[in-house]
Amino acid sequence: PVNLSGQSYLRLLDFSTDQIEYLLKLSKNFKDLKRTGTPHRYLEGKNIVLLFQKTSTRTRCAFEVGAMDLGMGVTYLDPGSSQMGKKESIEDTARVLGRFYDGIEFRGFAQSDVEELAAKAGVPVWNGLTDMWHPTQMLADALTVQENFNYDIKGLKFVFFGDLKNNMGRSLMVMCAKLGMNFVGCGPKDCWMDDELIKTCEAIAAENGCTVKCTEDVKEAATDADVIYTDVWVSMGEPDEVWAQRIEQLQPYRVTTQIMDMAKPTAIFLHCLPAFHDTNTTTGEDIAKRFGVTEMEVEDAVFESKQSKVFDEAENRMHTIKAVMYATLQ
């Protein structure tokens, strides 16, 4: 039996296939409880704190609603409103918050920061995104794939287009290798993840009867795909100057209706969100003015299509984050 009580959740690499599958089952249970309106205040009397050094909609709200549904108290500290990082070190912050709270969520820049927090806090720490990893997103993505493929996801062709080396590309490659899906990363060589991570994932994939690979060939990647995934071309924390180069490099890897047509007719489209698919935002307007492009990583037609499951995926953040909190705090 899987027991994650007292553990932190910092990166998927540290978790076994059994442990991930257990968290996915738990997530499905929590989703059923929510759907049927069944109270599940299993963690009544506990309190958690959410520490954000970057902005968020989904992750923050998933942790807040999840905590409240589980009967917990929750404190949100936004980027800039605590002493951490300015007047107080991460180490001291961890030792203080660990005395007050039963669990700590952290979203920031360096993976070493969330690791230091976990080492010093004495309570479970959950990584709500760093420059390197986005482990809570992985459970929501895996659950969404399961729901669309009858909970039988081994052997599916999972293709990620764009900036493969970002937190999402790296995390999805690990997720696929652990869960038996064939991962294809498709983007310019410049944007591939490091060789060491590819090698690590190849070895994990071999144990689970699947493969991982990277390619620049859009047709090869898209053909017969079951899941087509993309993410923003410029991630939080990257300098504004990278926009011009990324747009030039990544245009051929935009997820278009032509790409969806090469995939299987049953294929689904996923995106962790926020997505840049029109100019309805201030960033969108600004980019359109500066570079003359009105769509980025995904065409609006794909984003709005029936194959797009991005809002189910977003909802699943809440159910899966609840599972992580429950498993580690029970």
φ, ψ of residue 221 in degrees (nearest 5): -70, -50
Pairing of strands 103-107, 157-161: unpaired
Has 95 been annotated as catalytic? no
Sign of the CA dihedral running 117, 118, 119, 122: positive
Does residue 127 belong to the site contacting ligand NVA (CB under 6 A)? no
**Rounded distance, CA 36 to CA 18, Å?**
27
Burial of residue 184 (CB within 10 Å: 0-12, 13-18, 19+) is: buried
8 Å CB contact between 57 and 83: no
Task: Provide the mask over 190-229, with x wherever binding to ligand NVA is found by CB under 6 A and - wherever it is not.
Answer: ----------------------------------------
Which of ligand CP, ligand NVA, none does residue 168 bind (CB under 5 to 8 Å by kind)? ligand NVA
Q: Report the alpha-carbon distance of residue 304 to residue 108 in Å, rounded.
A: 30
**232 lies in the site for ligand NVA, by CB under 6 A:** yes
The reply, when asked if residue 214 is annotated as ligand binding, is no
Listing DSSP states for 271-310 in one string gives E-S----SS-SHHHHHHHHHH--S--SB-HHHHTSTTB-H
The entry of ligand CP, ligand NVA, none that residue 57 binds, CB within 5 to 8 Å by partner kind: ligand CP
Least separation, in Å, of the C-beta of 210 and ligand CP? 25
Nearest CB to ligand CP, comparing residues 129 and 227: 129
Counting contacts by CB under 6 A, is residue 330 touching ligand CP?
no
Kindly state whether residue 141 participates in binding ligand NVA, applying the rule CB under 6 A: no
CB 47 within 8 A of CB 101: yes
Backbone torsions φ then ψ of 220, nearest 5 degrees: -60, -40
Provide the minimum distance between the beta carbon of 126 and ligand CP in the complex, in angstroms, as a whole number. Answer: 13
Q: Is 152 annotated as a binding residue?
A: no
Distance CA 238, CA 110 (A): 12
Q: Which residue has the tokens 């937190």?
A: 167
Q: Which of the residues 46 through 85 are near ligand NVA (CB under 6 A)?
A: none
Choose from ligand CP, ligand NVA, none: what does 164 bind? Cβ within 5-8 Å by kind. none
**CB-nearer residue toward ligand CP: 129 or 177:** 129
7 marked ligand binding residue: no
Contact with ligand NVA (CB under 6 A) among 48, 50, 84, 272: 272
Structure-token pair, residue 96? 């203080």
* Binding to ligand CP in span 18-77, by CB under 6 A: 56-59
Per DSSP, 14 falls in state G
137 annotated active-site: yes
Closest distance of CB 288 from ligand CP, Å:
22
**Is 107 assigned to a binding site?**
yes
Contacts of 70 (CB under 8 A, 6+ apart): 40, 41, 42, 43, 44, 46, 322, 325, 326
User: What beta strand segments (E) does the chain contain?
Assistant: 47-52, 73-77, 103-107, 125-127, 157-161, 182-186, 212-215, 227-230, 268-271
Number of residues near ligand NVA (by CB under 6 A): 9
* Cα-Cα end-to-end distance for the chain: 15
137 in a labelled binding site: yes
277 counts as catalytic = no
Smallest gap from Cβ 139 to ligand CP, in A, equals 12
Residue tagged 């420059």 (tokens): 131
279 binds ligand CP (CB under 6 A): no
> Is 61 an annotated catalytic residue?
no
Residues tagged in the binding site annotation: 56-59, 83, 107, 134-137, 167, 231, 235-236, 272-273, 317
Catalytic (active-site) positions: 107, 134, 137, 231, 272, 317
What residues line the site for ligand NVA (CB under 6 A)? 129, 166-168, 231-232, 235-236, 272
What residues line the site for ligand CP (CB under 6 A)? 56-59, 129, 137, 272-273
